[in-house]
Amino acid sequence: MANPQKENGYTPIANELLEALCKIRISGEARQVYDVILRKTYGFNKLEDMISISQFVLYTTLRDSAVCKAVAKLVRMNVITKKGNIYGIIKDFETWRPLPKKETLPKKEINTTQKGNKSLPKKRDTKDNINTKDNTAKKAPIKKKTFRNKERYLDQTPYSLEDFVKAMRSSTLRHMKIIAEYADEIKPDKYTKGQWHEFIDRNVRAAQRVATYDDKQIERAMTKIEANRKTPKNPRGYITKWTLETLLTYID
């Protein structure tokens, strides 16, 4: 269960700017990209930051083409600055340019009485066609909700932390090795394969984002986390429980 805490990091934003965002319409994908820029700039106390298309994709799970379209839309709206792959937020909301809403054309009405054609009589419901409608409605298939990976989560095969870490470290995927190191660090209470499958699925997206950084950046972030962790030796620390998302906030 997700349990985000402000102590694990937050993005400061002025109330005046947030209120201005409430009044302007930014479409879904464009808003996702805008939030990434907000996170990568104000989230690190920066005015501008270098953001690659691959980072946008990792944060939003959008396609490259969708990211590019969203960036172009934000530039036309004058809500962000873009210099190559360096992005920033335009705080002067009085210069923002809302895009016009799409206009829908009214449907053409066909007059059947033109050119000498007689108007067709309206169909009335009879017992026969009422029964037909009811039958077709009853035969309509009902979509059932499916839960992804539910069967894997139910696997009760015993599986220890040592077995999990060893298997994950042997993976050829870098983000899987990161999950292994994270598990070895926090030592979660997991005892079955099903619990470990759920642990992977919960952390895989953040691990993929961490994997885009080099080892030195990750080590520096871990050093900062250790310095701010609340322990008996460091009772003044403000980090009580950290996640891979916490690690991302400390990576510069």
pLDDT in the model for residue 88: 93
State the 10-residue block means of pLDDT for the chain, 252 residues long.
80 89 88 92 90 89 89 92 92 86 52 51 56 52 51 83 92 91 90 89 90 89 84 77 86 70
- Res 132: pLDDT: 52
Q: What integer pLDDT is reported at residue 156 of this predicted model?
A: 86
Summarised one tens digit per residue, pLDDT across range 81-138 is 999 889 999 988 889 988 776 544 455 544 544 455 555 555 565 555 555 545 544 5
The reported pLDDT for the residue numbered 146 is: 46
The full set of domains in the chain, from first to last, is 13-95 (1.10.10.10), 150-250 (no CATH)
> 14: exposed, middle or buried (C-beta count within 10 Å: 0-12, 13-18, 19+)?
exposed
In the beta sheet, which residues pair with residue 120? none
pTM, whole model, 2 decimals?
0.42
**Helix (H) or strand (E) segment spanning residue 140:** none
